[in-house]
Amino acid sequence: MRAIYLTEGGLEIREVEEPKPGYGEVVIKVNYALTDGTDLKTFLRGHPILKRGPFGHEYSGTVYELGEGVEGFQVGDEVFGVNTAPCFKCSSCMRGKFNLCENLKKNMVIGAYAEYLLIPAQVVKINLFKKPPELPFHVAPIIEPLSCVFHALEKVPLEDVENVLILGSGSISAMFSLVLSELGKEVLITGRSEEKMRTISENTKVKWVKFESLKGAFDLVIDTTANSNVAGMGLKFVNKGGYMLMFAGFREGEEIKIEQPRIHYSEIQILTSFHHTPQSVRKAYTFLLKNYRSLEFLISGFYTLENINKAFENMAKGLGFKYAITP
């Protein structure tokens, strides 16, 4: 089969063997894999967890082959899901920190930019779903980043929050915008791309502002940019008693400067969130089924495996939100 590999020299299309499902595993024929900010970061500068090799982790497809012992799926089922599942046995899982499972890497879907994709047994059991017919194949993979958004919001005491500032003009910013507006919060976004902020605003009804014109104080500021300067400046806009949520992960070793008295005397809480849990995946599933039409604008274009570099070049230039890659 054809598959995309991330190498030191960039993305390469390779002819490799089709995956074979082991016990409890499923192989799907990929319909779409979506690009995202994590893939872009890995592509541009490497990632602390994701290494070079098979690439892509947001997927939808059709069940092609079942391993022994698989329950609940049949060949031909249309499916979508997320990229990992917790083991429920390690020390993190025992503390209920399923997003921090020590065995995430062993139960990880990787290599979605390919014709066929192996879904590990634990993901089949916990985080793979039959796709309702109305949910389009190219929108379904959004369940993964959306699960991260729902996990992040579990970290914030939302009852304390009336207004929110979101730093960044990408797809994660758009997802936070939609979810938080639905929760009745007043949302403002600010980011690099005016065009993308305008698109988000037209599609989600939230307001946007240029960073230079930003003023006021916000009960919650969310950084989706992974830029330490932007995140640092965002801190200045957190209201007394408010929260700063660092959603995006910086580059390995990168630090942020914090004016301690500013956060101490205003009792500002800095929160972080990473990845998703089975609970947040289920929240995302429900939200996606209800709101997939409002999320479809995040698919900015379609490319084949052969043309995947164009999708990443666009993203590196800040053009578009997510691209759907089809084998």
Binding residues vs Zn ion (CB under 5 A):
86-87, 90, 93, 101, 103
Nearer to Zn ion, 93 or 118 (CB): 93
Strand, helix or coil at 75? Answer: coil
Whether residue 127 contacts residue 147, with contact meaning beta carbons closer than 8 Å, is answered with: no
Q: Residue 89 Cβ, how far from Zn ion at the closest point, in Å?
A: 6
The answer to whether the beta carbons of residues 251 and 231 sit under 8 Å apart is no
Distance CA 139, CA 141 (A): 6
Residue 5 CB, nearest approach to Zn ion (Å): 28
Closest approach, Cβ 96 to Zn ion, in A, equals 10
Beta strands of the chain (E only): which ranges? 2-7, 10-15, 26-34, 53-54, 58-66, 78-81, 116-119, 128-130, 163-167, 186-190, 207-208, 218-223, 238-246, 269-272, 299-304, 322-326
Residue with tokens 């022994």: 68
If the CB atoms of residues 31 and 277 are measured against Zn ion, the closer one turns out to be 277
Nearer to Zn ion, 5 or 88 (CB): 88
Minimum separation from the CB atom of position 98 to Zn ion (A): 7
CB of 147 to Zn ion, least distance (A): 17
Q: How far is the CB of 106 from Zn ion (least distance, A)?
A: 9
Which CB sits closer to Zn ion, 73 or 88? 88
Question: Toward Zn ion, which CB reaches closer, 95 or 215?
Answer: 95
Q: Which is nearer to Zn ion, 232 or 278 (CB)?
A: 278
The CB-nearest residue to Zn ion is: 101
| Residue 28 near residue 119 (C-beta atoms within 8 A) | yes
CA atoms lying within 13 Å on the CB side of residue 191 = 28
Q: Return d(Cα 231, Cα 257) in angstroms, integer.
A: 10
